[in-house]
């Protein structure tokens, strides 16, 4: 191994990290896994990336796994070979206007947000982890978030990608019309082969691929084949395969993305439910107010926020006394109505503050008439504590709960909202009967929830629950025609279950995609296709 490490050091301008401290750091992400790489490299420029691809092609068994901020919850950026870290040098915002931006994968979203805020725009598919994640993972996972109800997922906002493929060359991927596609199909090189093979795969299996698309508003499971070739419009777009591919068919170095105008004002209406059966009719009623976001969290998550309210107070930049005073309406509401089992956050947004407040008040009155407990926020600041609780729930579980570990493995389903009142009680029953205490938070307007069970992974009997519960969970989601991965992707934890969702024929096409782009398996093996649950289970962290 020393020989090829020395070869890496000689060939790269960037960093080559082999010390134990860094190898341990890069052996984990936000998932339940620990996988130690042989080496971590931080490429300095595109020449370094060319060298890495050529190096992997020359050394059988060496693979390249891209990594940005390392906040993935599926083990996506973990590898026993070479981890390619982008946050050190590929961290430039190359352009930012009121309509588009060009970013590199190592750009932290919080830094992008600061610059975007100055010109009153946002990249609308940011995830709840926006304070710690980076653009590499947002695009690699096809992230979504609290604004996706109005603006869609990341795949809807990526216009162009600059990528390096298995031949060591860089290409631009974007939407092509028929004329542009025909020019690509006539090429005899590696690029031409890819366009020909993917086009014929999509055309030959057109109806099968279209019928396989999950009937939900969010999905990051499998490859987005149904977004590539639109026969009616005559458009072909390979960038749709890259978004959500977890770096399994190549690595991207620049992305041109859409940004949207940021609304000047918003108001939150917090709705407190005593019965899960209320969720579906509530969503139907609230949607006529055209909310920009429809978020939620359960009683367990709320209890977590109460338990760690000093941390929540710090996040909203208040001292504890001011924070507690700000909770007086919630305290009065609880005395009158008792504790809810579910909280729905309805965000209304626009440019006229008075108009938004009036809409929120009207919604509150209609909820009162329906005898649905609610509180209408009177300022944006008043609602911020709810957003912090919603966005920071996983981090609080991961950082503050010591006796058990936050264990994301059934953490990212989506079903149509019309099924939630029926689906959620079955989900709770499934988890509780297996001795798993769930914490649910998510994008209720999209039917997309994140489940963060608390488990003691030091115990073998606890670890053994994971594949059994995951199998039963996948069957339940399939019964309701949903997806097991709405925005967190497949990674180590769910790749083995993709076939259960899509069936063998579609997974066979996914395998063809991987082979067309990466026949020697040099890019992030074992993710998206060819999953190995035995390997995954043997790499669950114990602490």
Query: What's the pLDDT band for 385 if we cut at 50, 70, 90?
Result: confident
For the cut 90, the answer to whether the pLDDT of residue 384 exceeds it is no
Question: Can you tell me the distance from the alpha carbon of 8 to that of 17, in angstroms, rounded to the nearest whole number?
Answer: 10
State pLDDT tens for residues 471-523.
Answer: 999 999 999 999 999 999 999 999 999 999 999 999 999 999 999 999 999 99
Residue whose tokens read 């962290």? 541
Rounded to an integer, the average pLDDT of 60-78 is: 97
Pairing of strands 93-96, 100-103: antiparallel
User: Which sequence spans correspond to the domains of the chain?
Assistant: 2-85, 93-261, 265-396
- The pTM score is 0.95
Q: Which class would CATH give 265-396?
A: alpha beta
Question: pLDDT-derived band of residue 301, with 50, 70 and 90 as boundaries?
Answer: confident
What secondary structure does DSSP assign to 493-512, as a single string?
HHGGGHHHHH-HHHHHHHHH
Q: What is the pLDDT of residue 404?
A: 79
Q: Is the dihedral of CA 480, 483, 488, 494 positive or negative?
A: positive
What CA dihedral angle connects 226, 231, 236 and 237, to 10 degrees?
Answer: -30
Q: Is 3.30.465.10 the CATH number for 93-261? A: yes
Is residue 309's pLDDT more than 70?
no
pLDDT band for position 310 (50/70/90)? confident
DSSP string, 114-181: HHHHHTTEE-TT--TTTTT-BHHHHHHTT---TTHHHH--GGGTEEEEEEE-TTS-EEEEEEE-HHHH
Residue-wise pLDDT for 230-241, tens only, equals 999 999 999 999
Q: CB–CB of 354/285 below 8 Å? A: no
Residue-wise DSSP of 221-240: SS--GGGTEETTTTEEETHH
Average pLDDT of the chain is 94
Evaluate whether the domain defined by 2-85 bears CATH number 3.30.43.10. yes
**pLDDT tens digit sequence for 398-414:** 776 667 788 999 999 99
Specify which residues 299 forms β-bridges with.
Answer: none
pLDDT value at residue 389: 78
| Predicted confidence band of residue 257 (pLDDT cuts 50, 70, 90) | very high
- What spatial distance separates the first Cα and last Cα of the chain, rounded to whole Å? 29
Q: Is the pLDDT of residue 463 over 80?
A: yes
Q: Which of 268-272, 388-392, 518-522, 537-541 has the lowest mean pLDDT?
A: 388-392
> Taking the C-alpha atoms of 220, 224, 226 and 232 in order, what is their torsion angle to the nearest 10 degrees?
120
What pLDDT was estimated at residue 323? 66
Q: What is the pLDDT of residues 143-172, one digit of tens each?
A: 999 999 999 999 999 999 999 999 999 999
Give residue 303's pLDDT: 80
Residue 334's pLDDT is 84
pLDDT > 70: percent of the chain: 97
Collapsed DSSP state (helix, strand, coil) of residue 15: strand
Listing DSSP states for 59-120 in one string gives STT--EEEESS---SSSTT--SSEEEE-TTT---EEEE-SSEEEE-TT-BHHHHHHHHHHTT
> Helix axis angle, 190-204 relative to 178-185, nearest 10°?
120
């Amino acid at each position: 191994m020393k020989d090829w490490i020395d070869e890496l050091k000689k060939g790269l301008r960037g960093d080559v990290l082999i010390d134990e401290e860094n190898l341990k750091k890069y052996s984990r992400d936000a998932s339940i896994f620990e996988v130690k790489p042989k080496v971590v490299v931080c490429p300095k420029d595109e020449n370094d990336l060319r060298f890495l691809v050529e190096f992997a092609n020359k050394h059988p068994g060496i693979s390249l796994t891209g990594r940005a901020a390392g906040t993935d919850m599926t083990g996506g950026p973990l590898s026993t070979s070479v981890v390619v870290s982008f946050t050190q040098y590929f961290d430039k915002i190359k352009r930012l206007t009121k309509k588009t931006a060009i970013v590199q994968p190592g750009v932290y979203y919080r830094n992008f947000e600061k610059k975007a805020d100055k010109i009153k725009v946002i990249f609308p598919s940011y995830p709840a982890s926006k304070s710690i994640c980076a653009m590499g993972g947002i695009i690699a996972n096809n992230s979504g978030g609290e604004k996706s109800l109005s603006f869609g997922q990341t795949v809807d906002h990526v216009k162009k990608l600059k990528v390096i493929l298995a031949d060591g060359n860089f290409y631009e991927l974007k939407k092509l019309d028929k004329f542009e596609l025909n020019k690509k199909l006539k090429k005899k090189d590696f690029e031409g082969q890819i366009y020909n093979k993917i086009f014929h795969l999509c055309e030959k299996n057109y109806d099968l691929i279209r019928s396989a698309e999950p009937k939900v508003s969010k999905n990051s499971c499998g490859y987005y084949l149904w977004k590539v070739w639109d026969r009616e419009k005559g458009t072909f777009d390979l960038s749709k395969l890259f978004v959500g591919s977890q770096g399994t068919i190549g690595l991207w170095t620049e992305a041109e993305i859409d940004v949207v105008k940021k609304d000047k004002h918003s108001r939150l209406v917090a709705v407190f439910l005593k019965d899960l059966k209320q969720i579906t009719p509530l969503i139907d009623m609230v949607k006529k107010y055209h909310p920009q976001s429809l978020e939620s969290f359960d009683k367990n998550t709320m209890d977590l926020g109460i338990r760690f309210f000093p941390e929540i107070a710090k996040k909203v930049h208040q001292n504890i006394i001011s924070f507690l005073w700000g909770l007086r309406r919630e305290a009065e509401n609880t005395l009158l109505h008792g504790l809810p089992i579910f909280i729905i956050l309805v965000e209304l947004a626009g440019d006229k503050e008075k108009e938004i407040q009036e809409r929120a008040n009207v919604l509150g009155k209609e909820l009162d008439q329906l005898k649905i407990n609610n509180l209408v926020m009177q300022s944006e600041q008043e609602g911020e504590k709810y957003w912090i609780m919603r966005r920071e729930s996983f981090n609080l579980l991961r950082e503050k709960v010591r006796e058990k570990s936050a264990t994301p493995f059934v953490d990212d389903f989506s079903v149509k909202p019309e099924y939630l009142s029926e689906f959620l009680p079955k989900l709770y029953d499934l988890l509780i009967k297996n001795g798993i205490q769930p914490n649910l938070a998510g994008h209720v307007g999209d039917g997309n929830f994140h489940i963060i069970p608390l488990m003691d992974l030091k115990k073998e009997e606890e670890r053994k629950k994971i594949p059994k519960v995951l199998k039963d969970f996948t069957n339940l989601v399939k019964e309701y025609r949903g997806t097991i991965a709405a925005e967190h992707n497949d990674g180590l934890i769910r790749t083995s279950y993709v076939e259960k969702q899509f069936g063998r024929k579609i997974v066979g096409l996914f395998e063809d995609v991987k082979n067309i782009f990466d026949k020697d398996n040099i890019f992030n093996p074992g993710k998206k296709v060819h999953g190995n649950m035995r390997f995954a289970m043997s790499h669950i962290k114990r602490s």
